[in-house]
Structure 1
């Protein structure tokens, strides 16, 4: 199971990061879901914080798009670490990072990624069991459990109570027959918890009875992925979700606005779509005034 770090943090920076990590962990409380509008760069993270979010989660898809790449581990570890560092230096709330498959083929490499993510200032990670370009959509359970265990050991060695969110893509990639999917997911969740995961993330599920069945069968905070057409946060929480994120949907909405505004300007010559724009300068200036 997720455990307490082996040794206390000693430096001032580490003490502050440990406090943020403990604050982030405490946000996963039953009945009051942690809502995370995912950010993809420092400016979007600052806007999410200013909107009232208690924490910031990064979006790997949004980050990839912002750098002209498709989703699916198109960015490397160095690029992701740069993004995390910029975001943690910009916001005051805890930051949890989407590290996709860990940017490594072996458990030791995943552990090194986690160590570097902690050094960049994050206090949580999502680690997925999808295998990009592999012969099967998901890694074998034992293989993914070993990667999660390596992530746990790396965090414990740094003395930071990292929140390790294990992402299961059984529903997202429609693995197996529909009637077997719940059992497959619960089996993986149990193995991932034993390996050291603190939370379980199951994207691709917003059907409330399925959310309820997952929440009942998993002894950890359940993270679900919301988006256009999904039930409201209150309904997902009532079904048992302890954490609700939106992945790349916020970035997609922002890029959708940019595309519509550009087309309007190039076709009709008008700028109506730009009417709700804001200046980031007040937020980025000392004192962080309201934009």
Structure 2
């Protein structure tokens, strides 16, 4: 069985490959097994919003860190694939939360900057990468997230993009291998971000109206993920099954999971 450091190196390699890494987010062991069993899946990422919802919490670090990490532990127990964990803003101590996650076998993570002052946010990135190295995982794939859109998206669009650019460059300089800019990006904005960060350094989220996967790959994006969308799709299918069964006394067509 590969070590945590080996899986981290593999996850980093997948991000550096010119082929776009498509990562479907999971939230519990059964969703992990389903996605891991899909042809073409080479890595997994958790979704903090989805895990919180599963356990009855609102999004936004309302879930206790111990409960978040326990669900991640359960997820890791059912797969040998590299797993990146969405750890929100780090639950008050991002380097320590990363250290605990690495002990479980996590090899990458999203950490939100929550639009903290830039020097503070960059120092946090540096501390996270130092903690990962001290834990024996120098290739830990920190997906340094800027909340330029989620928190500051009500500003002028040019200001939002300029903020994302400044923050992303600072996080790369602080040692993060990739930068996550979740938001409704246009093709021109993706191109601007890739030009600033370098190819295979930007990660994005799949949203309606954003560039296609083929275009993202052509532009040099490292990875695209789905956040809570994958859980919403699953729950919509469940609701449709219930509605069909209750209204018509039959099940809609479905395929059994292997």
- TM-score band w.r.t. shorter chain: over 0.9
1:123 aligned to 2:107? yes
1:238 aligned to which of 191, 208, 218: 218
Aligned residues of 1:206 and 1:225 also touching (Cα < 8 A): no
Stretches of 4+ aligned residues off by more than 4 angstroms: none
1:134 aligned partner: none
Aligned residues of 1:216 and 1:240 also touching (Cα < 8 A): no
2:150 aligned partner: 172
In 1, Cα distance between equivalents of 2:17 and 2:11: 14
In 2, Cα distance between equivalents of 1:206 and 1:184: 14
TM-score by length of 1: 0.82
In 2, Cα distance between equivalents of 1:213 and 1:205: 14
1:157 aligned to 2:134? yes
2:96 aligned partner: 112
SS at match of 2:26: coil
Aligned residues of 2:88 and 2:111 also touching (Cα < 8 A): yes
Aligned residues of 1:206 and 1:236 also touching (Cα < 8 A): no
In 2, Cα distance between equivalents of 1:191 and 1:248: 27
How many Å apart are 1:269 and its aligned residue?
4.0
2:16 aligned partner: 29
Runs (5+) with no aligned partner, structure 1: 1-12, 131-137, 280-290
In 2, Cα distance between equivalents of 1:83 and 1:92: 16
Aligned residues of 2:53 and 2:59 also touching (Cα < 8 A): yes
2:119 aligned partner: 142
Runs (5+) with no aligned partner, structure 2: none
How many Å apart are 1:43 and its aligned residue?
1.2
How many Å apart are 1:74 and its aligned residue?
2.0
1:70 aligned to 2:70? no
How many Å apart are 1:158 and its aligned residue?
0.7
Aligned residues of 1:226 and 1:244 also touching (Cα < 8 A): yes
SS at match of 1:81: helix
Q: 1:40 to 1:194 in 2, by over 3 A?
A: same
In 2, Cα distance between equivalents of 1:254 and 1:71: 18
2:243 aligned partner: 263
Q: Root-mean-square deviation (CA), in Å? A: 1.7
1:206-243 superposed Cα distances (whole Å, 9 cap, x missing partner):
31111111111113611010034433211121122110
Aligned residues of 2:148 and 2:163 also touching (Cα < 8 A): yes
